Amino acid sequence: WLEASGEVAAQLLGAGDPTEILRLIAGRALELSGADYALIALPEDLEAAPEDITDLKVAVAAGLDSATIAGRIIPVSGSTAGEVFTDHVPRAVPHLRYDVSQGLGVRFGPALALPLGADDQVQGVLLVVRVPGAGAFGEHELQVVSSFADQASLALQRAESQAERRELEVLADRDRIARDLHDQVIQRLFAIGLSLQGTKRRAKTPGVAERVQDHIDQLHEVIQDIRTAIFDLQVNEAGAGQVRTRLHRVITELTQDTALRTTVRMSGALDTLPGGLVEAAEAVVREAVSNAVRHARAQELTVTVSMDDQLVIDVSDDGVGMPAQVAHSGLHNLRQRALAAAGSCVVRPGEGGGTRVVWAAPLTGGSDTDRAPAGG
C-alpha cells in the first residue's frame, strides 16, 4: 500500500500524463484488492458544480476486458457510484446497483466503491470489482483500498495546486513582459517617431520627405503590432461576461483624441462567446479601428459586432481608402486570426467610399475559411 501510494505521488508530482496516472491508480487498486476489474469514473465536465452533474464516465479501466468498459456512462441517480460521488462514503457491496458492464458480455459481482477526492471535493469514484461467485470484499480490503484512494486523492489535489501555481508564475511573467514592452519598447519607438517627424520637416527634397514619412508609417505599424502582442500576453481577467464593455473601451481608447464621429452597434448574446473568440474579437476591433484612425482621414467610423451562428465584426469608414504605400502587416494579422478561427476576413472599398473590413468566425470550429461572411 505504501509503495503504491508513493508511486502514484511520484508520477503526479513529476507532472506525468493525467490519463496514465489514472491508469496507474486503477492498476494499483486492482493489485491491492485482488479484484478482477478496477474502474475510475469521472464527470465529463470537471468544472461543473456537484449538484449539476448527472452522469459519470468511465475514464480508465484495468483488468479483464477493460478496453470494452472504458467510455461507458454511469448515471449518478440510481447507481452505487453515484451514491459514493454524492455522500463521499466508501462502500463494499455484493453487487453494483447500476451494472456498467451490461450488454458487453461481461458480468460484475462483489464491488468496492470509493470516492476519489480530498476533503469535500470529490473528483470521481474508484470502483474495484470481482466476477460473480468470487468472495465478497471484507472490512480489511475496504480499509486498505480506501487508504490508498485517500493518498491518491491527496496527491491529485497537490498536483493540481502545483499546476495552478506554475500557471500563475507563467501569467505573472507574461504580465511583466507586457509591462516592459509597453513602458520601455513602445516609448522608445515613439521617441524615434518624433525624431523622424522633425527630420521630415527639415527635409528639402520631396523624395526624402516621402521616404521619411514611409518609415514613420512603418514605425506606427510596428507599434501597433507590439500593442497587439501586449494584448495577447495579458490575462483575460474580465472574462467573456464583459465583452461589450471591453470592446467599447478599446474603441474609445483609439478614437477619443480624434474628430471621428463613431457609431458602435452590438447585437447577439456576446456574453456567451468562447474565451478564444473574446480575445480575437478585441484584437480584431483594435487593429481595424486603429487602421481607420491612422490612415483613413475619415469623418465617420461605424463598428458593428454581431453574433448569431458566427461572430461578425464589420468596421467601415468614409475616408480615402487604404493607401497603397502603407505596410499591410496589420491586415495580415487580421487574416491570420481569421484563418486560425476557421473564419474569413474581407477588406474592400465601402459602398459610399472609404474602407470596409468584415471579419467573421464560426462559434464552433470546422468552417470553410473561404466562405463569405454574414453582412458582406
Task: Dump pLDDT digits (tens) for 133-161.
Answer: 888 887 877 777 777 777 666 656 665 66
Residue located via cell numbers 464589420 = 314
Largest Cα span, the chain: 101
The β-bridge relationship of strands 300-307 and 344-349 is unpaired
Q: Is the dihedral of CA 147, 4, 69, 50 positive or negative?
A: positive
User: pLDDT tens digits, residue range 15-58?
Assistant: 555 666 777 777 777 777 778 888 888 887 766 777 788 888 88
User: pLDDT tens digits, residue range 277-313?
Assistant: 888 888 899 988 988 888 878 888 999 998 888 899 9
| pLDDT lower than 50: segments of the chain | 235-241, 327, 365-376
Pick from 217, 210, 194, 208: nearest CA to 327? 217
What pLDDT shows up at residue 367?
Answer: 38
What pLDDT shows up at residue 332?
Answer: 79
What pLDDT shows up at residue 118?
Answer: 60
What pLDDT shows up at residue 127?
Answer: 87
Distance CA 76, CA 82 (A): 4
Q: Is the dihedral of CA 214, 320, 347, 360 positive or negative?
A: positive
The β-bridge relationship of strands 261-267 and 300-307 is parallel
pTM for the whole structure? 0.43
What pLDDT shows up at residue 340?
Answer: 87
What pLDDT shows up at residue 6?
Answer: 59
Distance CA 7, CA 70 (A): 23
Q: Which residues pair with 115 in a beta bridge?
A: 125
Q: How far is CA 266 from CA 218, 298, 338, in A?
A: 32, 22, 20
The three-state secondary structure class of 192 is: helix
Residues 6+ apart with CB under 8 A from 287: 224, 228, 330, 333, 334
Where is 316: in which H helix or E strand?
Answer: strand 310-317
Q: Mean pLDDT for the chain?
A: 77
Angle formed by the axes of helices 139-180 and 18-33, nearest 10°:
170
